[in-house]
A and B are shown apart, each in its own frame.
Chain A
Amino acid sequence: MLRLLPEPGSIAYFGPPMSDPKAELMARLRAFEGKASSEPQTARFPVNVPMIEHWCDAMGDRNPAYLDAEWAAASPRGQMIAPPTMLQAWVMPGLRRWRDRPGAGSAVGSILRVLDEAGFTSVVATNCEQEYQRELVPGDVLRTSVTIEHVSDEKQTALGTGHFVTQHYSFRDQSDEVVATMRFRMLKFRPPEASAATPAPKPARPRPRPGITHDNRFFWDGVRAGKLLIQRCAACGRLRHPPGPMCPGCRSLEWDTLESAGRGEVYSYVLHYHPQIPPFEPGHPVALVALDEGTRLVADLVGVEPEEVHVGMRVQVEFNAVDDELILPQFRPLTP
């Protein structure tokens, strides 16, 4: 089972010079063995049905022993139980608690820092074994105490050189009976040289580029100049978008452009979720905008929450650089 670990800190070691750094380090690490890892944790909530149901949803587990009170009542157990593998879920402190909790005093915080200082800056959870003394049922309130059981000698692993740190958890119920135990092992290791350097941040995947032809170049040139241009037939004055070489009304090949005031309304819109296509965010709003001049165009909306978009919403164009090379016309709600 994976669990969240606090980000390893990096505090410099100001102690006396050490003659044999490895032996010295091992002695310091061994001193943690048998110590309590941290303050005992009490579950934030008793074992309860809603959390069991969420867990089963996430795991795709439809076992009626966890979900169907009627079925469970008629079963040999006579009541619903919690999935045994939820054990650790009951005492997880939650994300905010991790941040708020003062880690400095805890033994596990200290041992991680000692290993950081020695260059073993990376961490990975390697195994987790659980033993169950009894099944948990709704209403049970768990409390856990954790000790540092063992710190290994320096080991060579596929990930790099490091030390395994094993913690032993015991889970007790409201009557102080041990209901389960867990052994959780992590590897603190020195990342290999090749990957030690911070990799260059991957460039965000750029948006697809417009397809520019002789027929529509004026539009994209206009966008770069901060203008929303609409093609206009020079013979009959008809506006058209998307542009083309010939007026479908009078078949004239002559045209010029009209600069739109850039105001209009949302004629229709969508919110894109799947598949997730970077760099677009889930819920990305794209509108079919009816310009006041009479033509429509598709563009995305900015400055609006997805759930606020509606048909008929008044919008105003703006020209935004979405990356180093591409400027797009986008629309923002007009404030009355």
Chain B
Amino acid sequence: MRFRSELANRTAIVGIGATEFSKDSGRSEMSLAVECIAAALDDAGLAPEDVDGMAAYTIENNPDAEITRNLGIPGLRFFGRTHYGGGAACATVLQAAMAVVAGVADVVVCYRAMNERSQQRFGTGVQRLSPQPTAESAHFGWYAPFGLLTPAAWVAMFARRYMHEFGVSSDDFGRISVADRKHAATNPAAWFYGQPITLEDHRASRWIVDPLRLLDCCQESDGGVAVVVTSAERARDLRRPPVLVRAAAQAMAEDQHMMTSYYRDDITGLPEMGLVARQLWETSGLTPADVQTAVVYDHFTPFVLVQLEEFGFCGRGEAKDFVKNANLELGGGLPINTHGGQLGEAYIHGMNGIAEGVRQVRGTGVNQVPDVENVLVTAGTGVPTSGILLGRA
């Protein structure tokens, strides 16, 4: 199947903004949202009056209407939300790009703002099901009564089989943490600024859900990040060099479940991410060799390896070799998560990764990769998901 898209290079990310990243923001999620959106608009040289669209996640607690009112945005012509947690991250940019190319909005803000550590911790999982007989309560009912009830546990089930089939070790997962924390250590905005780790630290970290250790799991964070999308044409007249959205895609795949697609013949891959990958490569005309750095969604390390395989940076089952010799670190063959990722910088459901993709294309990253033409950014794994390719104008 050949994919085609009307979106290639027709829109751009023109502004990025963020609050500080913390474990207790001390203010409302609404406050985080308006702060990061105002910062992103300011970065773009735009005002709230210019905004006429918003794209967010269904798990976002802040209603668009409240944000619009608080920011003094006169009105919106487009507002859309995407489901499946962090899988929505790059889909917000896809939604924004579609709205702009279709002419239903000119300036669309994509955002995620949450007190995910101090207020609502996703790491504690699903301990109580809705008493309503919904498809969602039926879904969790296949796992929670048996004690499989946290995101780490759902991912660990895939990870064990992946290790079993390809001879992958806990150390191979640890190399992701080491790379991320190395990059976070030199990023003043990162929670783990100045705190690199070694493979020994990873080995010594406690089990969360065997085979996942503490250092295989991302943080829980408070914070907000926003990006601003407009047409490539308008982007040329704004404050910053435009960062083109070369391609954007969403996908779910056959026999898709939410975090628990355990019933496919093979559970060592992420076919939904594979479908994102094929769309991104085909509609952009790019290949893995054209990408200088990637922001690979890292809520849990094992799925970083699987994503590298799905995107074709290495063959099936070969990520364990691809990640060796500091290949994912600055100076390696494919530096990933140069901001420190969600293990090192903050867990903002992938929105901070999009902001880092923008910085790498602009050439303003704290851990800047030389001569960046194209950056891949991916969204949450184990769920229906999304991805974008960003590039220089």
Contacts and interface: CB of A to CB of B under 8 A. Distances in A.
A288 B262 contact: yes
Given A211-B139, A213-B135, A277 B127 contact: yes
Contacts of B236: none
Interface stretch (A89-97, A112-120, A267-275): A267-275
- Identify the interface centre among A241, A248, A277: most chain B CB within 10 Å of its CB: A277
A216 interface: yes
B159 to A, nearest CB: 8
A69 interface: no
A253 interface: no
B146 interface: yes
A299 interface: yes
A271 B146 CA distance: 12
Q: In the complex, which range does the number of interface residues on chain B fall in?
A: 35 or more
B104 interface: no
B200 to A, nearest CB: 15
Interface stretch (B37-45, B202-210, B223-231, B350-358): B202-210
B331 interface: no
Interface in A280-309: 280, 283-284, 286, 288, 295-300, 306
B147 A268 contact: no
A162 to B, nearest CB: 40
Interface in B116-136: 123-130, 133-136
B147 A284 contact: yes
Interface string A316-336: 000000100010101000000
A272 B209 contact: yes
A271 B133 contact: no
Contacts of B143: 298
Contact of B211 (A270, A274, A326): A270
Nearest to A211: B137
Contacts, number: 129
Interface stretch (A191-199, A202-210, A228-236): A202-210
Interface string B184-223: 0000000000000000000000111111001000000000
Contacts of A124: none
Interface string A178-202: 0000000000000000000000000
A311 interface: yes
Given A272-B209, A300-B147, A211 B141 contact: yes
A216 B138 contact: yes
Nearest to B154: A270
Contact of A211 (B124, B133, B214): B133
A299 B262 CA distance: 13
A286 B142 contact: no
B263 A296 contact: yes
Contacts of A300: 146-147
Contact of B141 (A210, A306, A330): A210
B10 to A, nearest CB: 36
Interface in B121-177: 123-130, 133-150, 153, 156-158, 160-161, 164
Contacts of B141: 208-212, 216
A134 interface: no
Contact of A268 (B140, B164, B207): B164
A268 B158 contact: yes
A248 B125 CA distance: 29
A311 B164 contact: yes
Interface in B252-274: 255, 260, 262-263, 267
Interface of B: 123-130, 133-150, 153, 156-158, 160-161, 164, 206-211, 214, 255, 260, 262-263, 267
Pairs A-B, 6 closest by C-beta atoms:
A211-B137, A211-B141, A210-B141, A208-B144, A271-B210, A268-B161
Given A210-B142, A213-B137, A298-B260, 11 more contacts: A211-B133, A211-B136, A211-B137, A212-B133, A242-B263, A268-B158, A270-B210, A272-B153, A275-B123, A277-B149, A296-B263
16 contacts: A208-B126, A208-B144, A208-B145, A209-B129, A209-B141, A215-B138, A268-B157, A269-B160, A270-B148, A271-B207, A272-B210, A273-B209, A284-B147, A286-B157, A288-B161, A297-B142
